[in-house]
Amino acid sequence: MEPFFHASPFTGYVYPNETIIPWTVLIVVYPYLTGLVAGAFTVSSLYQVFGFQRLKPVAHFALLVSLCCMVVVPIPLLLHLGHPERAFNAMITPHTTSAFAIFSYAAAFYVILLVLETWFVFRPHIVRQAQQRTGLLGWYYRILSLGSYDLSEKAMRYDRKWIFTLAIIGIPGAHGLHGYVGFVFGSLKSREWWSSDLMPAIFLFSAIISGTALLIVLYVISCKLRKVPVDVPCLKGMAYALWGFMMFTLLLEGVEFASLVYRGREGIDVIMEFVKGPLVVPFFILQFGVGSVLPICVLTFLIWRGTSGNTLVTAVALCAFLVLLAVLMMRWNVVIGGQEISKTGKGLLSYHPLIFGREGLLAAAMVLVTPLVLLLVMVRLFPPWDEDTTLATSAAGAR
């Protein structure tokens, strides 16, 4: 079944060939997941490359989060395709002028990079488990060890060099992976809402804050489940990063919207009607008000007051959750909102997503939950908080 849509009663008219909204809620989920990948990897790299010691408790956890999200990234696109088995044609017969076709190579490269870095980071744990465990899990860890049980200082120095190198390569890789998504939208001149040179930068900064926010929420929840105290300096470090990047993101989004209004191209009247009407709640209230301005104000107050303890943990976690909502709404407003404005700029469409079906809300929700299920499995196989999993990078913060 196709999503239900009709011409909006607010203003204008649309031509018959404009009544199709091809990119549905699954295409909203796709850039949202890539943003989580880039943001989580950024936090991990702040420790692995730049030596931010206070982020050590979540550095390896962030790497697992990034890997689990990256594995799921292609699923929304595959579900959106009528024949997902044909996706391999993009790699077999590449079309260099298609941004989405190039994504297959970029995604494959980045998955390999994440797998390699994860293997080097958790190699001490893999070796110990391979030596201690028996049965199926023992075979699993022995296969992962690749026959190398060497944990000498010389081997650890070799592993640290690889981790450092892969993390450096991964920084532009992660940011380029998500920045190109903004490039895809920003380069489409047929959509006034999308055609902006600032779109890649907006997507990139929003990716960093979404990944950081996800780590804050998951780290606090994991501490509660493990019944261990939250590392307050680590949480503060992520809160500072979230606050700083949110300021830049909000500024960029404000400048991009002001530029759209200032240009005053043909069809701006319809766009303004769209902003004042259907976009008031998802754009101004949810994305900017509740999801951006409110968390910034709360974080500013917490930093100014020097709040600590459970109050700080709860407030920062709630702010992070609101930021995740804001970034999701930003993706919705860009993907769906851009298509609700007719290409001719003469009228509006109204999109009503299905609940069930291949491209319904339930399918999108299942895609968003899948990385969390994978993460639950990965954390049990490769505990990111155990001491033996951190030996390979114990000197990273001393650089």
Which of the residues in the chain have pLDDT under 50?
1-2, 4-10, 388-399
Position 11 scores a pLDDT of 54
**281-334: pLDDT as tens digits:** 888 888 888 888 999 999 999 888 887 888 899 999 999 999 999 999 888 888
CA 13 to mean position of chain CA atoms: 36
Q: How far is C-alpha 102 from the chain's CA centre?
A: 19
According to the model, what pLDDT value does residue 399 have?
A: 43
Please state the domain extents for the chain. 4-398
**End-to-end CA gap in the chain:** 56
Q: What residues contact residue 185 under an 8 Å CB cut-off, 6+ apart?
A: 191, 194, 199, 203, 334, 335, 338
Backbone phi, psi, residue 347, to 5°: -165, 180
φ/ψ of 71, rounded to 5, equals -65, -30
- C-alpha 357/C-alpha 365 separation (Å) is 12
In the structure encoding, which two tokens stand for residue 377, read together?
């499995």
Closest CA to 303 of 389, 244, 367, 388: 244
DSSP assignment of 258-297, as one string? HHHHHH--TTHHHHHHHHHTTTIIIIIIIIIIIIIIHHHH
CATH no., domain 4-398: 1.20.1630.10
Contact by Cβ (8 Å): 272, 344 = no
